[in-house]
Chain A
């Protein structure tokens, strides 16, 4: 089974590092990149072709503006947005017009979401 490719673009830096620490030791998940500036998002997604993009959930419970633009060009990519300030997280899958807040913002929740959603995609394909 192919490893799940993940690009991590969370802000602030500490939150990004905590998320990286959560998924770094997982044998079935590959971190294909890490970015600290939203302006790098488009290039990073183009060059790494991740299955999942993990970003910070803005205070208004929205995706960062740069993420909206990237999703227009990569509708099959899944996005998990995690709030740095609360337990909120949101999952987006543009091509299927899915927006869900059911992912728990915990290690188990995020890893479970990556694996569960990836398995569903493989089934569909």
Chain B
């Protein structure tokens, strides 16, 4: 038999914690390792070997970030399922940016929560259909508004590599870039090497010639 998915529940509402905990615990493939109020859960969820963190407040993730450095490296970061009593598009986007992988809205059922926990455990993302449509529209609109971003994405550049391009365009040295981004000079050198490889050029000068001017800003 495969191991159970380890679930941590963080909610300010005790009734939600208790009843959700009981519903999830009844499933033979899920194990609720802890259920706590947000203040008590702060940091603890990240320090346990939780696989899925179920929470009903996005603010928790921002508070938790202040403790992020203390998370032991041996532990993988739990996948976060946000159970949101309000279906709000801006909140949904903030949740995605904060690293949430699953979003359950107010019209969800308890069984939907169970299914979502299993999906996250499998490495999938969960999104209500209406917000999924919103996400498609949002990404499509961004592609129109920021064509240079599309080019960067098409080239397969990571966010960090995209961040470096304008700095290279300004003529900064590896050392200067490293200083600005709080990175080591060797790390910057590696990033630059990978950028050149992805764009298919041999040096910085060729890189500037190969990219559109808008991408260098």
Decide yes or no whether A105 CB sits under 8 A from chain B.
Answer: yes
Range class of the A interface residue count: 20 to 34
Which residues 1-57 in B have Cβ within 8 Å of A in the complex? 12-16, 18-20, 22-23
Q: Chain B 71-109, CB within 8 Å of chain A: the 1/0 string? A: 000000000000101000000000000000000101111
Bound together, the chains give a CA A8 to CA B87 distance in angstroms of: 22
Q: Tell me the minimal C-beta distance from A49 to chain B in angstroms.
A: 26
Instruction: Tell whether, in the assembled complex, residue B19 and residue A105 are in contact, meaning their CB atoms are under 8 Å apart.
Output: no
Complex Cα–Cα for A42 and B13 (A): 28
Q: Is A82 an interface residue (CB 8 A)?
A: yes
Residues of chain A from 29 to 61 with CB closer than 8 A to chain B in the complex = none
A118 smallest CB distance to B (angstroms):
19
A105 & B14 in contact (Cβ 8 Å cutoff): yes
B121 within 8 A of A: no
A18→B19 contact, CB < 8 A: yes
Q: B113 contacts the other chain (Cβ, under 8 Å)? A: yes
Decide if B183 is an interface residue (CB 8 Å cutoff).
no
Binds B, one of A62-70, A71-79, A84-92, A94-102: A84-92
CA distance A21 to B25 in the complex (A): 13
Chain A positions within 8 Å of B108 at CB level: 13-14
Contacts of B112 in A (CB 8 A): 14
Q: How far is the CA of A107 from the CA of B107 in the complex (A)?
A: 22
Determine the distance from Cα of A83 to Cα of B12 in the docked complex, in whole angstroms. 11
A-B contact pairs, 26 of them (CB 8 A): A13-B106, A13-B107, A13-B109, A14-B83, A14-B108, A15-B16, A15-B85, A17-B109, A18-B20, A18-B23, A22-B18, A84-B16, A85-B12, A85-B13, A86-B13, A87-B12, A87-B14, A105-B13, A105-B15, A106-B14, A106-B15, A106-B18, A107-B19, A109-B14, A109-B15, A110-B15
Q: Give me the interface of B with A, judged by CB distance under 8 Å.
A: 12-16, 18-20, 22-23, 83, 85, 104, 106-110, 112-113
Q: Show the binding face of A for B, using Cβ within 8 Å.
A: 11-15, 17-19, 21-22, 82-87, 104-107, 109-110
